Every structure is written in C-alpha cells, then in structure tokens.
C-alpha cells in the first residue's frame, strides 16, 4: 500500500491501515522492545502501549515520508520500554552486576551475529543493557541518555564502558565453552 494512502488511513483511524502498519513494523518493533525488556510478555505489553499511542496520536498525519514515521515509531517504542523499566524500578539496578575486570575497551575477537549479540545482551544487567542499547543501537549521545534516564553523563559513560567489558568477558566465556565442547 502506498505511504500516502496509509498516512491518510492512519489520520482517519482506519483499522485496515493500522493493521498494515502493524504487519509491516510489528516484528521489528517487538524485537526492539525485547532488546530492552527481558520477559517476552512485558515486551509485548510495551509494544501494545506503543502502538496504541502511535495510532491514537497520529490523527494529524504529521509525517510526510515513511522514514520519518518509522523513526518516530522507534522513538515511541524506546520511550515505552524506558517507562516500563522505570515503572518496574529496575532501570539502573546494577548492584547485582557481575564483577567487571578492568581492561581496555576491546570487543570480541570476531564479529558477532545478531542472534549471538542479542543472547549476550540478554545476560547484561538492565542498566548496562539499557545504556548499551541507547548508545550503540539507537545512536543516542551520552547527554541524551543522561536526560532520558535522569542520570549523569558520567554514569552513562561508565555504564557503557562496563557493559562493553562485561560483554567481552561473556563472549570470551562463551567461546571457551564452545571450544571445550568441540574438543570433547
């Protein structure tokens, strides 16, 4: 369906246009929510809330092109995830985070697939994962992250650094495990 038609349909609140949008972007938005929120049920709830807001607010049809609309949709979903994390009071709970060994900010030795990277991110504490997602994937600056999460820029940088180190350690651990498995 042409974007202009979809746009007019969204502006009118047409259910068919809404379903088309959901079919087109639903999976990607769900995956986005899953990167922030671990239980799939909670991620889907954030997705539902995001689409509800998107459909109810878009009566004005503000977006001239689809790319801008998609960017706005991503931002809504990110906001929904952050709000859900905030409501669960788990945003920056990093006290139970594993000990991060000091070292250089070097990444894994090899490039990771998306699935491998997602599985590693799942193991990060919520605070680390949130900052990592916002900075690396969404492209936020530390200032924006600090504003979003109501933390200092220094905290944002620190959490990102720790997230990277922990990610490298986890990746190394996983590699050793697979190496051992292959050796046997």
Partner 1 sequence: MNTMPWEKHDNEMRNQLSGSEDFLPDQEHWRRDAAWQRLSSALDQPASVEIDNARPGSLPQYSRRRMAILWIKWAVAASVVSVLFALLWWNANFGEEPVIALSEPETGSGKSYTRPVDESLNKKVVSTEAAHNSSKELALRNYPAGLKSLLKRNEVKALLPTDSGNTYLIANAGLNGMKVANERSENQSNSDKPVQGEVSSLDIQPAIVQVPDGGKTRPRVVHLNELGLQAPSPPGFDRKLMRSLTPDMVSASPPDGNFGKIRSAIRLDPFSN
Strand, helix or coil for residue 105: coil
Instruction: State how far the Cα of 154 lies from the Cα of 32, in Å rounded to an integer.
Output: 25
CB nearer to partner 1: pick between 36 and 125? 36
Residues comprising the chain, all counted: 184
Could you tell me if 32 and 77 are in contact, meaning their C-beta atoms sit under 8 angstroms apart?
Answer: yes
Q: Closest Cα partner for 145 from 122, 33, 157?
A: 157
Site for partner 1, rule CB under 8 A:
15, 18-19, 22-23, 26-28, 30-32, 34-35, 40, 44, 47-49, 51-57, 62-63, 68, 72, 74-76, 79, 82-83, 86, 105-115, 117-119, 136-139, 144, 147-148, 150, 164
CB of 15 to partner 1, least distance (A): 7
CB of 111 to partner 1, least distance (A): 6
Could you tell me if 61 and 8 are in contact, meaning their C-beta atoms sit under 8 angstroms apart?
Answer: yes
CB nearer to partner 1: pick between 95 and 114? 114
CB nearer to partner 1: pick between 68 and 179? 68
> For residue 158, what is the DSSP state?
H
CB nearer to partner 1: pick between 9 and 184? 9
């Amino acid at each position: 369906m042409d974007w202009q038609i979809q746009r007019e349909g969204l502006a009118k609140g047409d259910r068919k246009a809404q379903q088309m949008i959901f079919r087109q972007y639903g999976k990607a938005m769900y995956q986005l929510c899953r990167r922030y929120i671990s239980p799939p049920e909670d991620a889907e709830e954030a997705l539902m809330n995001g689409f509800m807001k998107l459909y109810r607010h878009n009566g004005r049809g503000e977006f001239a092109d689809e790319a801008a609309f998609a960017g706005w949709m991503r931002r809504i979903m990110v906001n929904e995830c952050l709000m859900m994390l905030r409501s669960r009071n788990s945003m920056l709970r990093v006290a139970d985070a594993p000990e991060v060994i000091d070292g250089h900010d070097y990444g894994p030795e090899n490039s990771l697939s998306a699935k491998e990277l997602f599985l590693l991110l799942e193991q990060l504490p919520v605070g680390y994962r949130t900052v990592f997602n916002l900075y690396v994937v969404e492209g936020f600056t530390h200032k924006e992250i600090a504003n979003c999460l109501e933390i200092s820029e220094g905290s944002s940088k620190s959490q990102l650094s720790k997230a990277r180190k922990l990610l490298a350690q986890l990746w190394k651990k996983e590699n050793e495990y697979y190496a051992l498995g292959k050796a046997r």
